[in-house]
Amino acid sequence: MSFAKLKEAVESWAIEDHFTFSVVKKDVKRVDYRCRARAMGCLWRVFASTTMEGELQVKKITSSHTCIAAPVAAREVANTQNWLRRTVPQHLFVTKATKPMEIVEPIRMHYGEKVNYEAPRLTKAALIADRVEHQREHFHKIPFYLKLLHQHNEGLYTDLHTTADVNGHQIFQRLFICPRQSRESFQSIRKFMAIDGTFLKAQFVQTLLLAVGIDANGNILLLAWGIVESENKSSWRYFLQHLKKAIPK
């Protein structure tokens, strides 16, 4: 266990059981969490320290509270970015159009917590930034993803098209994938193919192009798919040219 994971667990505990806590002592080897009402005699405590092997281990837990009758202070955890950024995505997909009150309401309904206006505004910005960075990292992994697909799918047809920016870095533009099974299946189904495109709901605006057929049972069979920058003559030409190579007559 790490210090960060322990803190997450204590925060979740505090939200679920509606109490507040503070850190009495923390250094590189130990951390001591106490109930905020410890001055009133509350014995709730979580103490952890590192072992000889350097692993953080919980050494003491006093889970009972003796401060039930004490006035409950506003819980700070519900307004921390650490907790909100972990919790909000479980209940809401945050976009640029999301309003702060749309973030406040699920927290109130699910946890009975009040969140100030500034906290969800910062959470929204952070989640969008995280998602952009996450998606950007995945673009760099596409060549490795295709390599893995080829290793486990003999006869797979793919094409990756990139462009170079002013610094010479490769930027993703288009991708085409057609499994061997689709090519083989097309030889025995109706010689009919439908193609269409739809927008991808991601931070980077792109379009998913699809080619489908109809098998002997009347079911739709996915033949090939591609991701392009938008629906235009150039991108459709790219998709259809590779579709023709992947599934010849």
Alpha-carbon span 122 to 81, nearest angstrom: 8
Query: 182 and 228 share a domain?
Result: yes
Query: 22 and 2 share a domain?
Result: yes
**What per-residue confidence (pLDDT) applies to 202?**
65
**What per-residue confidence (pLDDT) applies to 68?**
61
Instruction: State the average pLDDT over residues 232-242.
Output: 95
Query: 93 and 151 share a domain?
Result: no
Query: 169 and 240 share a domain?
Result: yes
Q: Which of 92, 117, 140 is the last residue of a domain?
A: 140
Q: How confident is the model at residue 21 (pLDDT cuts 50, 70, 90)?
A: confident
Query: 230 and 156 share a domain?
Result: yes
Question: Model-level pTM?
Answer: 0.52
Query: 126 and 188 share a domain?
Result: no
Q: What is the pLDDT of residues 51-107, one digit of tens each?
A: 888 889 999 999 888 776 454 455 577 788 888 888 888 888 887 788 888 888 888
Query: 166 and 239 share a domain?
Result: yes
Q: Which of 95, 114, 140 is the last residue of a domain?
A: 140
Q: What is the pLDDT of residues 176-230, one digit of tens each?
A: 999 999 988 888 888 888 999 998 876 677 899 999 999 888 889 999 999 999 8
Query: 174 and 231 share a domain?
Result: yes
Q: Which of 107, 140, 173 is the last residue of a domain?
A: 140
Query: 44 and 82 share a domain?
Result: no
Per the structure, the complete domain to which residue 203 belongs is given by 146-246
Q: Considering its fold, how many domains does the chain have in total?
A: 3
Query: 184 and 198 share a domain?
Result: yes
Asked whether 70 and 42 are in contact (CB, 8 A), the reply is yes
Query: 104 and 56 share a domain?
Result: no
Q: What is the pLDDT of residues 138-156, one digit of tens each?
A: 788 889 999 999 999 999 9
Query: 86 and 43 share a domain?
Result: no
- Edge-to-edge order in the sheet of strand 170-178: 157-164, 170-178, 220-228, 207-214, 194-199
Instruction: State the average pLDDT over residues 104-128.
Output: 82
**What per-residue confidence (pLDDT) applies to 146?**
93
